[in-house]
Amino acid sequence: MKVVVLKQTGKDTGRKADLAKSIYEIEPNDHAIYLDVKQYLANQRQGTHKTKERGDVAGSRRKVKRQKGTGSARFGDIKNPLFRGGGTVFGPRPRDYNTKLNKKLKKVARRSALSYKAKEKNIAVLEGFKLEAPKTNDYLKFLNALSLSDKKTLLVLPEHDYNIFLSSRNLKNAQVTTAEQLCTYDVIHADNLLISEDSLKKIENILN
């Protein structure tokens, strides 16, 4: 598959970039995408949730009333979950939500996500992209030149660029990542992918 290479100003360079068939033209595996996105979202959870159980609530351990002869149900101490202010039954406890997936499966998921974007023709290749200073307005002008200011965009760079990262982080629908950090969730979440030419080679090396 060939895609037109664009300048930073949004103009056509007159060249076309080849997208590898083994990455951008495979039959997408929906289940692999599901597993990878599920793992990504699970790993974002801190797992610090905690409720006070019977042993954590402040209160006396004295028996509320005698066991027999009251005509009502028996009760233990004031920490009983049935009482107001008592402990929570089966409440959440701190835990680790991290899961693991095979590397081959994660690669299949990323290739499937990229293939979906290629089929939808939502991938644009850039000749190069640099900013002399961190300015949000400059990044916004760049998106306006590509008519993507109202879309969710993901810019893939060959390596981390501090100026571009700072310029884009204040924009709600703009995200910047590197070829090494590219994940399935980010690809699926974005409406349009903006990939620099140098990033194409790195993505091929990683996913092949």
Domain end marker among 27, 61, 96? 96
Sign of CA dihedral 59, 65, 71, 75: positive
124/198 same-domain check: yes
Same domain, 151 and 171: yes
Q: What is the CATH number of the domain that holds 152?
A: 3.40.1370.10
**Tokens read off for 2:** 């060939």
My answer on whether 184 and 142 are in the same domain is yes
The pLDDT value given to residue 208: 84
Do 121 and 59 lie in a common domain? no
Residue 134 backbone dihedrals phi, psi, to 5 degrees:
-75, 100
Within this chain, do residues 82 and 115 fall inside the same structural domain, yes or no? no
Same domain membership, residue 185 and residue 87: no
The residue among 187, 206, 172, 208 whose CA lies nearest residue 37 is 187
Find out whether 164 and 129 touch, Cβ atoms under 8 Å.
yes
Please, is 191 exposed, middle or buried when counting C-beta atoms within 10 Å of its C-beta (0-12, 13-18, 19+)? middle
Domain count across the chain: 2
Domain end marker among 64, 79, 96: 96
State the pLDDT at residue 119: 92
Residues 162 and 194 occupy one common structural domain: yes
Mind listing the pLDDT tens digit of every residue in the chain (208 residues)? 888 888 888 888 888 888 889 999 999 999 999 999 999 999 999 999 999 999 999 999 999 999 999 999 988 999 999 999 999 999 999 999 999 999 999 999 999 999 999 999 999 999 888 888 999 999 999 999 888 888 999 999 999 989 999 999 999 999 999 999 999 999 999 999 999 988 998 999 998 8
Whose CA is closest to 207, among 115, 98, 126, 140? 115
- Residue-range definition of the domain harbouring residue 90: 48-96
Q: What is the pLDDT of residue 7?
A: 85
Q: Within this chain, do residues 109 and 195 fall inside the same structural domain, yes or no?
A: yes
39 and 63 together in one domain: no
Please give the pLDDT value at position 190: 94
Residues 31 and 109 in one domain: yes
State the pTM of this model: 0.82
- Same domain, yes or no: 24 and 119: yes
96, 116, 136 - which closes a domain: 96
80 and 156 assigned to the same domain: no
